[in-house]
Amino acid sequence: MSNEEVPERWLLISLGNRYRGDDGVGPYLLDRLRSRLAGLVDFLESGGDMARLVGEWKGRQVCLVDAFLSDEYVAGNLVRVNIIGDNDLADFIAPSLCSTSSHGFNLGEAIELGKILQSLPRRLDIFAICAEDLTRSDRLTPKVKTGAQRAEQAIIAFLHADNGGQPCTNSP
Amino acid sequence: MKEIPASGNSKTIKVDYLARVEGEGALFIRYDDDTVHDVQLKIFEPPRFFEAFLRGRDFSEAPDITARICGICPVAYQMSALHAMERALGLVPTETIRALRRLLYCGEWIESHMLHISMLHAPDFLGYPSAVAMAGDHPDIVRQALEIKKAGNALVRLIGGREVHPINVRVGGFYRLPSLASLHGLRPQLAEARKLAEQMARWAARLPFPHCEYAYEYVALSNPNEYPMNEGRIISNRGLNITAQDYEKHFREEQVPHSTALHSVLIERGAYLVGPMARYNLNFPQLSEPVRRIAGELGFKPPCNNPFKSIVLRCFEVLYAFEEALRLIDQYQAGGEPYLTAEPRASSGCAVTEAPRGLLYHRYSIDRDGKIAFAKIVAPTSQNQKTIENDLRLMLPKFMHLSEEHLQGLCERAIRNYDPCISCSTHFLQLHLQHEQRGSP
């Protein structure tokens, strides 16, 4: 057995509702990445229970994919937020956002609770795609679908790089 | 809303957003030094028209459509819908299906109750504005709660396919039955969480409770063989004893000007209470022996008529749900068809099950092609609205010596005793307390 360090598996978490148009971009990416990153990454589709994340992401390297709404970005734009360790992600995310239910937590609160309970991810990289339409639909709008394809490539490159680079293949 | 006359002696306390309840509403209370004149739990969340959405849809879609009414108790909506449809179609589920449905309900009670106990209700008793603030001083309690909830999630995920809005439930049974090995694989996690649930119940029983006891009419399902979830007669402590088929002969929904949710009343006697307090007080003998023993040790033998103590009763129900889940897993017989089928026919059916917050009634009529012609859904929170208003009316005179800030906080707590799910009944609560001294116009 070699003494070479085996890279730790990443946990890829998707947030969003498959039936709310562009909000489904997280699950859409998760579905596509499952086959392309099988064996390298663990996958978790979150249906909105942020309390669950506090238990699941503790100490892990986490890549989180989600949709966001903004007046400053164009639909389909990819925004990456890189969080390492204990810093101010909770400040980055407005408490009023990401709230799935007043009965539950939003992402900012989950991170705040994670800090208090020492149950934060070791590293958290967020890939967020600017959404356009969140009304009832099981399809992404064309701009968001194109943005999702760019995000897919970015995530694959990012996770392969963390695992020592692209695997060798016989493909030219 | 009534116009309140301006008075130098009158006071108004206003809470724009009462946190830690599901939904949007407001509370208005007008009182003077002697009496409470008006209490209105004002629900202004727009009606969601689920009953209308269902018309014209296939009977098989009712469980999945109604599950979307609530992300906290979707299993309850699925259970009431599919039992009602099965009655309409003359389907009688097998013992295996029956056991798995009960197991799924155990998971939802654990998830829903634990969220309310630890994240929404406990901060009230310890003086914190939120669970996150409470976690700073009581991290172990919050960690335990998350572990307990995690076990509930695992149970719902295994039986239902995922922990929010399960997808494995269908009229007649399940799309796929879990393997014996997968159920047994969950056992260690459930057994460990059961220990934590007992610790949580013992902790909750020591919380400081305001002294408030009222004479309620409790209404719950009752079944001689088990603590009620999916089956039983609808009974009360004042003589009601009916089947689900007779529900609408005894319960009526009323419109009130200040709420987009209908108020449900007993035709004969008015307000009533559903939920953990009703279930516990009416069905204590059906709880498991360890839960009854622990309740006795902690001084919580029924009747428990203090709504603030409902947090402890929820803990007992969580403990029971773990014991029941372990029992069901140990007795599970794998095999058999995952579901029964029936040809659609013009028919009607209704059912009542016990959602975490209480009685949930569904009634459907379907046509000969199996399309839904009529749907009626009565959610627990709409059944408790009048009782919540009554609690506030009765509670306030005892606490008028408190500062307005404390009084306001107590009113919010009194509402949270019911874990109200306003979105189910039709999201934040605004509280307006108006104090008028005697002699004001």
To the nearest whole angstrom, how far is the Cα of B139 from the nearest Cα of chain A?
6
Predicted local distance difference test score (pLDDT) of residue B422 = 66
**Across B4-13, B39-48, B122-131, B140-149, least confident range:** B4-13
Specify the higher pLDDT residue, A22 or B436. A22
B97 and B187 both lie in a single domain: yes
Predicted local distance difference test score (pLDDT) of residue B391 = 94
Beta-strand ranges (E) seen in chain A are 10-15, 41-46, 61-68, 78-84, 123-130
Convert the pLDDT of each residue in A103-147 to its tens digit.
566 777 788 888 888 888 888 899 999 999 998 889 999 999 999
Token pair of A26 as six digits: 């997280």
Average predicted confidence (pLDDT) for chain A: 81
- In A, minimum Cα distance to B133 occurs at A113
Cβ-nearest to B71 among A45, A101, A113: A101
Q: How far apart are CA B219 and CA B240, in angstroms?
A: 8
Convert the pLDDT of each residue in B166-183 to its tens digit.
999 999 999 999 999 999
Element (H, E) at B87: helix B74-89
Helix axes B180-204, B139-160, angle to 10 degrees: 150
State which residues form the domain around B198.
92-212+309-341
Write the CATH number for B202.
1.10.645.10
Q: Average pLDDT in the B145-154 region?
A: 94
Instruction: Give chain B's contact residues with A (Cβ, < 8 Å).
Output: 19-23, 71-72, 115-116, 119-120, 130-132, 135-136, 139, 142-143, 146-147, 149-150, 153, 162-165, 421, 427-428
Amino acid identity of B232? Answer: G
Q: How far apart are CA B308 and CA B295, in angstroms?
A: 16
Residue B54 placed within a domain: no
Predicted local distance difference test score (pLDDT) of residue B353 = 98
Closest residue by Cα to residue B417 from B283, B278, B288, B267? B278
Specify the higher pLDDT residue, B407 or B228. B228
pLDDT beyond 50 at B1: no
Closest residue by Cα to residue B231 from B223, B220, B239? B223
- Reported as a pLDDT band with limits 50, 70 and 90, residue A89 is low
Interface contacts A/B by beta carbons within 8 Å: 65
B106 and B228 both lie in a single domain: no
Residue B85 placed within a domain: no
pLDDT beyond 70 at B19: no
- Reported as a pLDDT band with limits 50, 70 and 90, residue B428 is very low
Contacts of B175 (CB under 8 A, 6+ apart): B161, B167, B168, B169, B338, B339
- List chain B residues with CB under 8 Å of A108: none
Predicted local distance difference test score (pLDDT) of residue B15 = 46
pLDDT beyond 60 at B268: yes
What is the phi/psi pair of residue B397, to 5°? -55, -30
CB contact under 8 A, B132 and A113: yes
Convert the pLDDT of each residue in B45-88 to its tens digit.
666 788 888 999 999 999 999 998 888 889 999 999 999 999 99
Q: For chain B, how many structural domains are there in total?
A: 2
Instruction: Give chain A's contact residues with B (Cβ, < 8 Å).
Output: 45, 47-49, 51-52, 54-55, 100-105, 109, 112-113, 116-117, 119
Largest CA distance in chain B: 74
**Is the torsion defined by CA of B389, B393, B395, B396 positive or negative?**
positive
Cβ-nearest to A109 among B71, B132, B150: B132
CB contact under 8 A, B20 and A104: no
B166 and B98 both lie in a single domain: yes
B107 and B252 both lie in a single domain: no
pLDDT beyond 80 at A86: no
B396 and B253 both lie in a single domain: yes
CB contact under 8 A, A117 and B139: yes
pLDDT beyond 60 at B104: yes
* Per-domain boundaries in chain A: 10-162
Cβ-nearest to A117 among B72, B135, B427: B135
What DSSP letter does each residue of B172-233 carry, written as one string? TEESSPPPHHHHHHHHHHHHHHHHHHHHHHHHHTTS----------BEEEEBTTBS-SS--E
| Residue where one domain finishes, among candidates B320, B341, B362 | B341
- In B, minimum Cα distance to A101 occurs at B22
Specify the higher pLDDT residue, B165 or B63. B63
Contacts of B110 (CB under 8 A, 6+ apart): B148, B149, B151, B152, B155, B193, B197, B318, B321, B322, B325
Average predicted confidence (pLDDT) for chain B: 88
**Across A21-30, A96-105, B221-230, least confident range:** A96-105
B188 and B124 both lie in a single domain: yes
Q: How far apart are CA A98 and CA B1, in angstroms?
A: 34
Helical spans, DSSP H, in B229-309: 247-250, 276-283, 289-297
Element (H, E) at B264: strand B263-266
To the nearest whole angstrom, how far is the Cα of A88 from the nearest Cα of chain B?
16
Question: Which of A14, A58, A102, A116 is the best mutation test for B, with the most CBs of B within 10 A?
Answer: A102
- Answer for the pair A76, A147: CB distance below 8 angstroms, yes or no: yes
B384 and B261 both lie in a single domain: yes
| Residue where one domain finishes, among candidates B341, B363, B396 | B341
Can you name the residues that pair with A12 across neighbouring β-strands?
Answer: A43, A63
- List chain A residues with CB under 8 Å of B139: 116-117
Q: Average pLDDT in the B426-430 region?
A: 43
CB contact under 8 A, B146 and A55: yes
Cβ-nearest to B143 among A102, A112, A117: A117
- List chain A residues with CB under 8 Å of B143: 117, 119
Predicted local distance difference test score (pLDDT) of residue A40 = 86
pLDDT beyond 60 at B440: no
B251 and B207 both lie in a single domain: no
- Reported as a pLDDT band with limits 50, 70 and 90, residue B427 is very low
Specify the higher pLDDT residue, A19 or A1. A19
Predicted local distance difference test score (pLDDT) of residue A99 = 41
- List chain B residues with CB under 8 Å of A52: 149-150, 153, 163
Contacts of B343 (CB under 8 A, 6+ apart): none
- In B, minimum Cα distance to A117 occurs at B139
Cβ-nearest to A102 among B131, B139, B428: B428
Residue B355 placed within a domain: no
B297 and B421 both lie in a single domain: yes
% of chain A exceeding 90 in pLDDT: 40
CB contact under 8 A, A52 and B150: yes
What is the phi/psi pair of residue B346, to 5°? -65, 120
- List chain A residues with CB under 8 Å of B164: 47-49
pLDDT beyond 60 at B417: yes
Q: Average pLDDT in the A156-161 region?
A: 89
Q: 10 Å Cβ neighbour count for B436? A: 20
Phi-psi category of B56—alpha, beta or left, where left has phi over 0 and alpha has psi -120 to 50? left
Residue B165 placed within a domain: yes
Amino acid identity of B90? Answer: G
Q: What is the DSSP letter of B278?
A: H
- List chain A residues with CB under 8 Å of B140: none
C-beta contacts of B131-136 below 8 A and 24+ residues apart:
B131/A113, B132/A109, B132/A112, B132/A113, B132/A116, B135/A113, B135/A116, B135/A117, B136/A116
Amino acid identity of B228? Answer: P
> Is 3.40.720.10 the CATH number for A10-162?
no
To the nearest whole angstrom, how far is the Cα of B191 from the nearest Cα of chain A?
18
B259 and B280 both lie in a single domain: yes
To the nearest whole angstrom, how far is the Cα of A110 from the nearest Cα of chain B?
9
Residue B373 placed within a domain: no
% of chain B exceeding 70 in pLDDT: 89
- In B, minimum Cα distance to A56 occurs at B150
pLDDT beyond 50 at A170: no
ipTM, two decimals = 0.72
- List chain A residues with CB under 8 Å of B165: 47
User: If DSSP codes are grouped into helix, strand and coil, which group holds residue A4?
Assistant: coil
What is the phi/psi pair of residue A63, to 5°? -115, 120
Predicted local distance difference test score (pLDDT) of residue A165 = 56
Predicted local distance difference test score (pLDDT) of residue A56 = 87
- List chain B residues with CB under 8 Å of A45: 162
B200 and B98 both lie in a single domain: yes
Q: What is the DSSP letter of B245?
A: G
**Across A46-50, B275-279, B389-393, least confident range:** A46-50
Convert the pLDDT of each residue in B355-413 to its tens digit.
999 999 999 999 999 999 999 999 998 899 899 999 999 998 888 888 878 888 888 88
B181 and B167 both lie in a single domain: yes
